[in-house]
């Protein structure tokens, strides 16, 4: 089995695939890339059992065959080469893959490809298509709000909801919630599934700015994303997602509108003086003025700033965790934001005032923290 391939072309694809490989695997075969050669087509796969990602590359060859090559050793070698053709030859007698460059030859011990886990077939699948950049944006806008509590696995992923009304992506960790919707993309039937974080991060980085069409196949157990010359298959999180609509307050008569960057900079500065456990900051709204303040009683540190804003509603004092507010404001790209509130113990709703595409909707919910008396 022999093939010739461009060093930079192979390295670029393997770097993406390498993102799925764990640093410590209990099953040794998972430390390898699976190479499957079919004449001038080479399919390379990586897996952690939950997620498998494959890329199809064009190579020069007349051979067929498969072999598993150590991922770290191959990646470390490839990144040292300048752009050049590399020749791979599988030497069955010595159980090695010989890699030849313009500088020399390198032998890598290979593993039996039969040990590599097979990719699950998605039977009775439903299908949806959307642009790569739209999917990447949806993941970016939501993934930061996912939880890390293994006892509540459904909240460790992002909920995908597809319906004739549009596509909705939701993430929450019980302290904050993000709902990102596209009303300009619809499906014929209603369906929902929960995607784990690891494959989402792989998709987010791979598809950013992509004009490629992504085909999504999914059933109750697995989902598959196909785009360009790549394919990602992953096991879905099993369970029922919490009723997120029920926690979004509908009546919010107190509305603050303010420049996003100015608000973000103030919250960042004031948060430096907040309690290091609660990260609590206080927003005090009256008339056209917003006062942001924080105090760390243990160390006698305190700070306050006053900003001009557009505020409609009753005078209000409300506390928030500054880290959550900073995360949310960072994930919006609008010039101005709108913060809707009702009472000091009810969640605040953060939305962008501008900068959205046609059919795009973003809603962020942040739970308040009780103010110290």
pLDDT tens, residue by residue, 200-252? 999 999 999 999 999 999 999 999 999 999 999 999 999 999 999 999 999 99
Residue 312's nearest CA partner among 334, 339, 332, 336 is 339
**Region at 20 (left for phi over 0; alpha for psi -120 to 50; beta for the rest):** alpha
List of E strands, 80-125:
85-91, 96-100, 105-109
What's the gap between Cα 85 and its chain centre? Answer: 34
| Cβ(342)–Cβ(253) below 8 Å | yes
- Give pLDDT tens digits for 165-201: 999 999 999 999 999 999 999 999 999 999 999 999 9
Only one residue has tokens 């990719």, namely 119
The answer to whether the CB of 166 falls within 8 A of the CB of 182 is: yes
Contacts of 302 (CB under 8 A, 6+ apart): 273, 293, 294, 295, 296
Contacts for 190 with CB less than 8 Å, ≥ 6 apart: 161, 162, 163, 164
- What is the spatial distance between Cα 126 and Cα 96, in angstroms, rounded to a whole number? 42
- Please provide the average confidence, as pLDDT, over all residues in the chain: 96
**Residue 368 DSSP one-character state:** E
Q: What contacts 172, CB < 8 A, 6 or more positions away?
A: 145, 146, 147, 155, 178, 242, 244, 365
**Average pLDDT value for residue range 318-343:** 96
Q: Give mean pLDDT, residues 126-146.
A: 96
**To which residue do tokens 């039937």 refer?**
189
Whether the CB-CB separation of 170 and 182 falls below 8 Å is answered with: no
- Tell me the average pLDDT across 264-290: 96
Q: What pLDDT is stored for residue 371 in this prediction?
A: 79
H-type helices in the chain, by residue range? 7-18, 71-78, 132-143, 197-207, 260-271, 322-330
Indicate the burial class of 226 (C-beta count within 10 angstroms; 0-12, 13-18, 19 or more): middle
Q: What is the pLDDT of residue 372?
A: 64
Structural domains of the chain, ranges and CATH numbers in brackets: 2-115 (3.10.150.10), 126-168+188-244 (3.10.150.10), 248-369 (3.10.150.10)
Q: Are strands 368-369 and 316-321 parallel, antiparallel or unpaired?
A: antiparallel
Q: pTM of the entire structure?
A: 0.93
């Amino acid at each position: 089995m022999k093939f010739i391939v461009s060093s930079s072309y192979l390295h670029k694809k393997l770097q993406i695939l390498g993102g799925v490989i764990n640093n410590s695997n209990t099953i040794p075969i998972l430390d390898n890339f699976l190479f499957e050669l079919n004449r001038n087509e080479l399919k390379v796969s990586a897996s952690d059992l939950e997620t498998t990602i494959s890329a199809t590359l064009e190579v020069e060859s007349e051979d067929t065959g498969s072999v598993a090559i150590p991922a770290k050793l191959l990646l470390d070698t490839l990144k040292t080469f300048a752009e050049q053709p590399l020749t791979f030859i599988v030497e069955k007698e010595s159980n090695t893959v010989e890699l030849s460059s313009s500088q020399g030859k390198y032998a890598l011990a290979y593993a039996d490809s039969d040990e590599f886990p097979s990719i699950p077939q998605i039977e009775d699948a439903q299908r949806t298509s959307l642009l790569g950049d739209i999917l990447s944006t949806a993941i970016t806008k939501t993934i930061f709000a996912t939880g890390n509590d293994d006892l509540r696995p459904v909240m460790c992923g992002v909920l995908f909801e597809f319906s004739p009304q549009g596509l909705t992506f939701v993430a929450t960790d019980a302290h904050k919630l993000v709902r990102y919707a596209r009303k300009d993309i619809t499906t014929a039937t209603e369906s929902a599934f929960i995607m784990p974080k690891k494959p989402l991060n792989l998709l987010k980085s791979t598809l950013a700015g992509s004009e490629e069409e992504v085909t999504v196949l999914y059933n109750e157990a697995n989902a598959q994303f196909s785009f360009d010359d790549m394919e990602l298959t992953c096991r879905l999180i099993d369970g029922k997602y919490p009723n997120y609509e029920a926690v979004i307050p509908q009546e919010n008569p107190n509305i603050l509108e303010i420049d996003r960057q100015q608000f973000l900079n103030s919250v960042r500065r004031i948060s430096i003086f907040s309690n290091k456990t609660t990260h609590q900051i206080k927003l005090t709204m009256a008339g056209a003025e917003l006062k942001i303040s924080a105090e760390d009683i243990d160390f006698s540190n305190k700070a306050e700033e006053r900003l001009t804003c557009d505020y409609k509603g009753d005078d209000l004092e409300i506390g928030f965790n500054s880290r959550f507010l900073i995360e949310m404001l960072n994930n919006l790209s609008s010039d101005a934001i709108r913060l809707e509130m009702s009472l000091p113990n009810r969640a605040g709703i953060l939305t962008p005032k501008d900068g959205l595409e046609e059919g795009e909707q973003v809603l962020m919910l942040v739970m308040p923290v009780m103010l110290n008396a």
